[in-house]
Amino acid sequence: MDSIAPRVPLGPKALADPLAPALANLATLALGESGGGITILKTRQPMILEQLLPAKSPTMTEGTIVAWRIQPGDAVKSGQVIAEIQTDKAVIEWEAADNGTVAAILVPAGQVAQVNSIAAIFTSKAGEDAAAAIAAAKDKNTKLNAAAVPAAAATPAVAPAANPLSTPIAAPALAPKAETPTGRGGLRISPLAAKIAAKLGIDVRQVKGSGPEGRIIRRDIEAAAAAGTARIGAGAAGTKPERPALTLTRPDAADTAVAMTPMRKAIARRLSESKAQIPHFYVTDRVDAAALVGLREQLNAFAGVKITVNDLIVRAAALALRQHPEVNATFDGTSIRRTDSADISVAVAIPDGLITPIVFKAHTLTVAQIGTQVRALAKKAAEGRLQPAEFEGGTFTISNLGMFGIESFTAIINPPQAAILAVAGISDEPVVRDGAIVPGKVLRLTLSADHRVVDGAAAAGFLRTLRGLLERPAGLLL
Amino acid sequence: MIPASRLAPPLRASRPINLKTEPINGAKGIPLGNGQQLLSLRMAICQALDEEMRRDERIFVMGEEVAQYNGAYKVTKGLLDSFGPDRVIDTPITENGFAGLAVGAAMTGLRPVIEFMSWNFSFVAFDQIVSNASKMCYMTGGMFPIPLVMRGPNGAGPRVSSQHSHAVEALYSHFPGLIVVSPSTPYDAKGLLKTALRQDNPVCFLENEMLYGHEQDIPVAEYLIPFGVGDLKREGGDCTIVAINRCVHWALEAAETLAKEGISCEVVDPRTIKPLDIELIVESVRKTGRCVVVEECYRTGGVGAEIAAQLMELAFDDLDAPVERVTTTENPMPYAENLEHETLPKPHRIIAAVKKACSR
């Protein structure tokens, strides 16, 4: 025992020495340039300012730079517009958050890039070397955008064959839920049994399980194999096992593949979610529109006035919503919010798809004011210049296909709203007036409502009020 | 296939200690000729200590009553006479103190062996074991390895009630830096303890009071058993039973009964819980498709839970049934003998679990 000495020399010196240079460094950093008295750290490193492609709407995952307003070498001030970005909904101006000099533009105009891609690099001072940062940023962009491809390809979450009515509604969750209550496509089978079955070519759907709760286990597969039954293709009772028919679409030379624009993707995703997850129901009503048409003609007789049927319907809907707050509501999956103000989204068709700019507080506006606003918003939408505040946050949507002379149609609810009104065209039809059949003008309205929020009686009540307002339209001018 | 060389020598029936006929020195086995000797598990541990203390003078033994009283369970019988009071040291009843002392001694280059009269008493030394012994080498950048062996009986004795019946395999294998050894036979105990005494990490060496009297014919010639190498205690094709420490014997008893009913069980003894020979377990489960884990620890967070999780990760497609766990039921150990019997993972519970796994 005496011969055993500690293997490591101990003592304050031995321990302190290796740390000494680090401690000295620390001291220098803390003291800053002048060596004493100053407690603010100063940096001499050139500062690289990465400009990350921003998410300009809550649903934006990728975007396109429509145009850069800067070029390498430019001095940029915080707040200056540096580019225009096409989001999934609109073209939006991008303002710089930093002062600096443009060292490089990494996402060229016209190219789709994931949010948080490094679109440009600034340096804090002109002429600083940013080569390393640019190379690293290019690398990062490549990885970020490569990683996004499979994720995006896997996005269509709603199975096309699924009947929306049979899809269980998970109250708070908006994501679709897989429903295979017994696993492996309705079969209970142990992993080992499944493996052996695949190896032996046994059709497990024809095997009866002897394990707990009918689970197919190894011995069931081995028994089936020994008996020579349940071979795939053989059929247990002489019938072929059913296989889902596959329809293959072969591309034709005349076909055109159309790339999905960010807006098209957003429409596809949001409407699929809405139709699959919201229990829609539909109520249609027939409005005698003769008085409405007459009123419009009278109003348009004034010089400089241009009122459309749609303007009158927006006004009427706004007044009806005020009387039926249960329809003027939004639902976030857990709670319902009834809104005092009738903020009406008006569906506007644009070349890329459609968008729903909002006439806020429509119940406080005159028919003429509504008309002016709708046309201004439609013009901005067509130019792709709507700002998010102009199309996010409505409480009710009106979709009007009347200009196409459509007899009637149903619309898909625009979540989180609880209802949408589909407005068809006004047609000449016989109507019964004072007991006699006479030529009349008929307008069909269909309300799509979310049954989680609105019940049938409420929807019908709303439509009755709306019909009343449209059939005696003088009240719309009050 | 598992090579036949992995199979340990056959077990003999347990025999209560007879102080009159046992050798004066616990390290001296009863020679049987043909290179074999008869050793109880208690003597196997003593023989391993004796051989290694002769080989390496840095090794010393410390604990309550280990010297003059020859050990509370006579495991250190004769060591004081052989090595003197500098290397076989009686301590006061101070587990926290002598565990800390041992960590310090190991830091200076000694190789301490401390005996907990029972692993239940290690709880008062928990901080020394978990915060010091297992962390020192890491926290000093490798300057101070801790070649410390902590040993003593683990699990339920007969009717020692709730505070003195803990099995600590799962508890101590939770912490990185500790090796956990839990042997079931004299052969394994000797070979594993010799390995523990020749390596530089802290080792929890978990014995069992109820197995001290178990005897086995083992080689006179020196042998070592590496950590992380499990052992097949019985071969079979229908169900794998992974059993630890005393449960190995219950599993063998259950396997014997099940064999009469036509269910052939393979009994795997991992021998060390950390590192765990998961390869051997997976190899066996690939053969049988079913697994029952038997341990004296509690069910929640037990060794069985760990093995079941690893089998799910490594052998999912080879499982014909969910992994079954037979553990000590989750209640404080009752004093009453009949209740203790129902609390422990005894053969009747193992048989039921195997039948369930086999859907029989």
The candidate with the shortest Cα–Cα distance to B351, out of B287, B283, B260, is B260
Contact B108 A192 (CB under 8 A): no
- Looking at per-residue pLDDT, the higher value among A128 and A460 belongs to A460
Phi, psi of A450 (to 5 degrees): -85, 115
The residue-averaged pLDDT of A367-388 equals 91
Q: What is the pLDDT of residues A254-299, one digit of tens each?
A: 777 788 888 888 888 889 999 999 999 999 999 999 999 999 999 9
E-assigned strand segments in chain B:
11-14, 30-33, 36-40, 59-63, 88-90, 111-115, 149-153, 179-181, 203-207, 214-219, 231-234, 239-243, 265-269, 272-274, 291-298, 324-328
Q: Say if A213 is an interface residue toward chain B (CB within 8 Å).
A: no
Residues B288 and B215 in one domain: no
pLDDT at residue A160, rounded to an integer = 38
Contact A192 B318 (CB under 8 A): yes
Collapsed DSSP state (helix, strand, coil) of residue B36 = strand
A185 CB neighbour count, 10 Å cutoff: 9
Q: What pLDDT band is residue B11 in, cutting at 50, 70 and 90? A: low
Would you say residue B8 lies in a domain?
no
Would you say residue B55 lies in a domain?
yes
Does the annotation mark B249 as catalytic?
Answer: no
List the single best residue of A204, A210, A218 to mutate versus B (max B Cβ within 10 A).
A218
Query: B349 pLDDT exceeds 80?
Result: yes
pLDDT at residue A39, rounded to an integer = 40
Q: What pLDDT band is residue B79 in, cutting at 50, 70 and 90? A: very high
Angle, nearest 10°, between helix axes B278-288 and B303-314?
70
The last residue of one of the domains, among B219, B247, B280, is B219
Domains of chain A and CATH, by start: 12-42 (no CATH), 48-126 (2.40.50.100), 272-477 (3.30.559.10)
Query: B48 pLDDT exceeds 80?
Result: yes
Residues B44 and B170 in one domain: yes
Q: What is the pLDDT of residues A330-358, one digit of tens each?
A: 998 889 999 999 999 999 988 878 899 99
Looking at beta carbons, which residues of chain A come within 8 Å of B57? 1
Cβ–Cβ under 8 Å, residues B19 and B72 = no
Looking at beta carbons, which residues of chain B come within 8 Å of A192? 289, 317-320
Q: What pLDDT band is residue A113 in, cutting at 50, 70 and 90? A: confident
Q: Which two tokens stand for residue A25?
A: 């460094």
B151: domain CATH number? 3.40.50.970
The last residue of one of the domains, among B191, B219, B247, is B219
Q: Which two tokens stand for residue A123?
A: 């340096």
The candidate with the shortest Cα–Cα distance to A415, out of A450, A380, A374, is A450
Q: Say if A11 is an interface residue toward chain B (CB within 8 Å).
A: no
pLDDT at residue A188, rounded to an integer = 87
pLDDT at residue A111, rounded to an integer = 82
How close B154 gets to chain A, by Cα (Å)?
31
Angle, nearest 10°, between helix axes A367-382 and A309-323?
110
Phi, psi of A415 (to 5 degrees): -65, 150
Q: Say if B58 is an interface residue toward chain A (CB within 8 Å).
A: yes
Residues B74 and B135 in one domain: yes
Q: What pLDDT band is residue A427 in, cutting at 50, 70 and 90? A: very high
Q: How far apart are CA B123 and CA A282, in angstroms?
A: 69
Write down the pTM of the prediction.
0.51
The residue-averaged pLDDT of B316-334 equals 96
Looking at beta carbons, which residues of chain A come within 8 Å of B359? 210-212, 217, 219
Residues B213 and B256 in one domain: no
Of all residues in chain B, the percent with pLDDT exceeding 70 is 93
Residues B191 and B239 in one domain: no
Query: B36 pLDDT exceeds 50?
Result: yes
Contact A192 B320 (CB under 8 A): yes
Selecting from B60, B317, B321 the residue whose C-beta is nearest the C-beta of A217 gives B321
Q: Count residue pairs from A and B with Cβ separation < 8 A.
A: 44
Q: Say if B141 is an interface residue toward chain A (CB within 8 Å).
A: no
Q: Which two tokens stand for residue A313?
A: 């319907």
Phi, psi of B284 (to 5 degrees): -70, -40
The residue-averaged pLDDT of A181-190 equals 64
Q: How far apart are CA B242 and CA B248, in angstroms?
A: 8
How close B162 gets to chain A, by Cα (Å)?
36
The candidate with the shortest Cα–Cα distance to A276, out of A385, A179, A147, A149, is A179
- Distances from the Cα of B339 to the Cα of A50, A231, B335, angstroms: 70, 52, 7
Q: How far apart are CA A329 and CA A327, in angstroms?
A: 5
**Total number of domains in chain B:** 2
Would you say residue B9 lies in a domain?
no
Q: What is the pLDDT of residues B92-107, one digit of tens each?
A: 999 999 999 999 999 9
Q: What pLDDT band is residue B118 in, cutting at 50, 70 and 90? A: very high
> How many alpha carbons lie under 13 Å from residue B318 in its C-beta half-sphere?
21
Cβ–Cβ under 8 Å, residues B167 and B296 = yes
Contact B289 A218 (CB under 8 A): yes
Looking at beta carbons, which residues of chain A come within 8 Å of B320? 190-193, 217-218
Mark which residues 94-123 of B lie under 8 Å from A by CB.
108-110
Q: Say if B262 is an interface residue toward chain A (CB within 8 Å).
A: no
Name beta bridge partners: B35. none
Q: Which domain does B69 fall in, by range?
A: 21-219
Find, in chain A, the residue whose alpha carbon is nearest to that of B112.
Answer: A1
The last residue of one of the domains, among B219, B241, B258, is B219
How close A23 gets to chain B, by Cα (Å)?
19
Instruction: Determine what percent of chain B falls in helix, strand and coil, rounding each to the nearest 5.
Output: 40, 20, 40
Name the CA dihedral angle for A157, A160, A162, A167, rounded to a multiple of 10 degrees. 30
Q: What pLDDT band is residue B128 in, cutting at 50, 70 and 90? A: very high
How close A175 gets to chain B, by Cα (Å)?
28
How close B9 gets to chain A, by Cα (Å)?
33
Is the previous residue joined to B275 through a cis bond, with omega within 30 degrees of 0? yes
Selecting from B108, B317, B359 the residue whose C-beta is nearest the C-beta of A192 gives B317
ipTM surpassing 0.90? no
Residues B215 and B287 in one domain: no
Q: Say if B144 is an interface residue toward chain A (CB within 8 Å).
A: yes
> How many alpha carbons lie under 13 Å from residue A478 in its C-beta half-sphere?
8
Does the annotation mark B95 as catalytic?
Answer: yes
Residues B156 and B30 in one domain: yes
Q: What is the pLDDT of residues B172-200, one digit of tens each?
A: 999 999 999 999 999 999 999 999 999 99
Residues B245 and B181 in one domain: no
- Looking at per-residue pLDDT, the higher value among A468 and B29 belongs to A468
**Polymer length of chain A:** 478
Q: Which two tokens stand for residue A231?
A: 């071979």
Would you say residue B11 lies in a domain?
no
pLDDT at residue A252, rounded to an integer = 63
Q: What pLDDT band is residue A3 in, cutting at 50, 70 and 90? A: very low
pLDDT at residue A89, rounded to an integer = 75
The residue-averaged pLDDT of A290-316 equals 91
Residues B124 and B54 in one domain: yes
How close A236 gets to chain B, by Cα (Å)?
24
Q: What is the mean pLDDT of chain A?
A: 79
Q: How far apart are CA A272 and CA B101, in angstroms?
A: 69
Would you say residue B285 lies in a domain?
yes
Would you say residue B12 lies in a domain?
no
Q: Which two tokens stand for residue B209?
A: 């009071």
Residues B195 and B290 in one domain: no
Residues B205 and B243 in one domain: no
Q: What pLDDT band is residue A179 in, cutting at 50, 70 and 90? A: very low
Find, in chain A, the residue whose alpha carbon is nearest to that of B108.
Answer: A6
Q: How far apart are CA B323 and CA B354, in angstroms?
A: 10
User: Which residues touch A51 (CB under 8 Å, ≥6 apart)?
Assistant: A82, A96, A97, A98, A118, A119, A120, A121, A122
B299: domain CATH number? 3.40.50.920
Contact A4 B318 (CB under 8 A): no
Would you say residue B314 lies in a domain?
yes
Contact B359 A211 (CB under 8 A): yes
pLDDT at residue A92, rounded to an integer = 83
Looking at beta carbons, which residues of chain A come within 8 Å of B316? 191
The residue-averaged pLDDT of A384-401 equals 91
Tell the residue number behind the tokens 């409405």, with chain if given: A292
Q: Say if B320 is an interface residue toward chain A (CB within 8 Å).
A: yes
Q: Say if A18 is an interface residue toward chain B (CB within 8 Å).
A: no
- Looking at per-residue pLDDT, the higher value among A461 and A5 belongs to A461
Query: B273 pLDDT exceeds 70?
Result: yes
Q: Say if B359 is an interface residue toward chain A (CB within 8 Å).
A: yes
Residues B52 and B176 in one domain: yes
Find, in chain B, the residue whose alpha carbon is nearest to that of A190.
Answer: B320
Would you say residue B226 lies in a domain?
no
Q: Which two tokens stand for residue A232?
A: 């795939």
Q: Say if B86 is an interface residue toward chain A (CB within 8 Å).
A: yes
DSSP A420-473: EEEEEEEEEEEEEETTEEEEEEEEEEEEEEETTT--HHHHHHHHHHHHHHHHSG
